[in-house]
Amino acid sequence: MTFKFNTKTVHFQKKAEEKNVSKSQPIYQTSAFSFKDLDDMEDFYRGNKEYLYTRFSNPNTDDLGQGVAQLEGAPKGVATSSGMSAILAGVLAVVSHGDHIIASEDIYGGTYQLFATELKEFGIEVSFVSMNNFAEIENSIKVNTKLLYSESITNPLLRVEDLPSLISLAKKHNIITMIDNTFATPFLIKPYELGADLVIHSATKYIGGHSDVTAGVLVGNEVLITKAKTKVVNLGCNLSPFEAWLACRGLKTLAVRMDRQVKNAQALADFFRSNLSIAKVYYPDSVSENGNGANVSIDLGENYNVETFFKSLQWIRIVPTLAGVESTVTYPLRTSHRSVPDAIRSKLGITKGLVRISLGIEDDEDIIKAFEEALNKAKL
């Protein structure tokens, strides 16, 4: 059956039970699966049985990988223990010792650390470039360049990547593209359908949606995902069945949550833009017909005391993450980009006044009132 997006979020493919069919998918909370005899167990290695050991695969983790793949329009997906492990599995499915990656300079701080430090120890070279500068990208391409990496909407400055142009450039040079679609989700952007080879999600964020699970998902073409799954198994990056079940439960409400969160973000961005005392408002335009994203970033500049602003937020919590049903704020300088060198932070615009806001599903008037009061108290 061919479903539209909202229906897919609820009715994504699930493993069917032969007996005692449950309306809700059961949790296969087991480390291993049993067999009636040795020949029955050997059937797993012959490809006649799906499950042997949960580190290899499990119905719940398969549900999550395939559920997100279906929403992205990709043929195959694999669930992992976190967004970072999804990135690692995807990268290692493409590159190895002696290879070169071109990555966006304004990626998430954790990804920057992985690329700048850990991959270096694997003998993998990474060049960080401005993805707005196509001449710089082409000048950075080497004979050993295998991967081009960026984010559909960047963290924390919310720059929207020109994916069609970026993917076209990569294909021209026979380079694999890998896109982090965590901030946009397939509700707004589907990088795989635009031609990307691999798409990753920190399912901890909008896929799970309730701040109660840490998970990752990598989707893409069958050849690369098969390689990536081998990395997940061999490196122990697998997700537990319960976490996968929680993320699948969250996935069912992705569309309705994102619809409200995106509308709240637009309302808050409009409010901030009406305040001439705020140095800069970061919120994209024309992302998709479903809206422009569920995060807003602002630079308070010199007109506000940052410490007072954070202390005055009342019911809006300060957290080092995003995407729950509650509106939250974070301080990139001391959280996501804490380990990024000062010179790079300064170049990107990650200043002492930068605040990233993740919108929840509350009433927009209550959200705006909370930020208005915090701004009034923090005004210098």
Considering Cα of 4, then 260, then 83, then 158, what sign does the dihedral take?
Answer: positive
CA distances from 343 to 281, 348, 351 (A): 22, 9, 11
Pair (261, 221) in one structural domain: no
The model's confidence at residue 351, banded by pLDDT at 50, 70 and 90, is very high
Pair (247, 259) in one structural domain: no
Per-residue pLDDT for 12 more than 80?
no
CATH number at residue 174: 3.40.640.10
**Mean pLDDT on 322-346:** 89
How far, in Å, CA of 179 to CA of 199, rounded?
A: 5
Per-residue pLDDT for 230 more than 80?
yes
Pair (332, 285) in one structural domain: yes
Segment among 3-17, 173-187, 280-294 with least mean pLDDT: 3-17
pLDDT tens digits for 106-115?
999 999 999 9
Pair (201, 313) in one structural domain: no
Of the three residues 233, 251, 269, the one that is the final residue of a domain is: 251
Of the three residues 197, 230, 251, the one that is the final residue of a domain is: 251
pLDDT at 7: 84
Of the three residues 217, 251, 285, the one that is the final residue of a domain is: 251
Pair (246, 264) in one structural domain: no
Pair (36, 153) in one structural domain: yes
As given in the structure block, the two tokens for residue 195 are: 């031609």
CATH number at residue 366: 3.90.1150.10
Pair (236, 288) in one structural domain: no
pLDDT tens digits for 53-107?
999 999 999 999 999 999 999 999 999 999 999 999 999 999 999 999 999 999 9
What is the average pLDDT score of the chain?
94
pLDDT at 68: 98
Pair (181, 246) in one structural domain: yes
Pair (341, 275) in one structural domain: yes
Cβ atoms of residues 103 and 236 within 8 Å: no
The model's confidence at residue 346, banded by pLDDT at 50, 70 and 90, is confident
297 — phi, psi (to 5°)? Answer: -115, 145
pTM score, whole prediction:
0.93
CA 263 centroid distance within chain = 20
pLDDT tens digits for 270-311?
999 999 999 999 999 999 999 999 999 999 999 999 999 999
Greater model confidence, 2 or 241: 241
pLDDT tens digits for 147-168?
999 999 999 999 999 999 999 9
How large is the C-alpha radius of gyration of the chain?
A: 21
Strand 328-330 with 317-318, pairing: parallel
Pair (320, 226) in one structural domain: no
Query: Which string of DSSP letters, residue by residue, matches 141-160?
Result: --TTEEEEEEESB-TTT-PB
Query: Which string of DSSP letters, residue by residue, matches 100-168?
Result: EEEEETTS-HHHHHIIIIIHHHTT-EEEEE-TT-HHHHHHH--TTEEEEEEESB-TTT-PBP-HHHHHH
Q: Which structural domain, as residue segments, surrounds residue 259?
A: 255-378
As given in the structure block, the two tokens for residue 7 are: 């229906």
The model's confidence at residue 44, banded by pLDDT at 50, 70 and 90, is very high
Pair (367, 230) in one structural domain: no
pLDDT at 338: 80
Greater model confidence, 2 or 87: 87
pLDDT at 175: 98
Segment among 126-130, 273-277, 286-290, 337-341 with least mean pLDDT: 337-341
Pair (187, 274) in one structural domain: no
pLDDT at 13: 65
Cβ atoms of residues 275 and 268 within 8 Å: no
Number of domains the chain is built from:
2
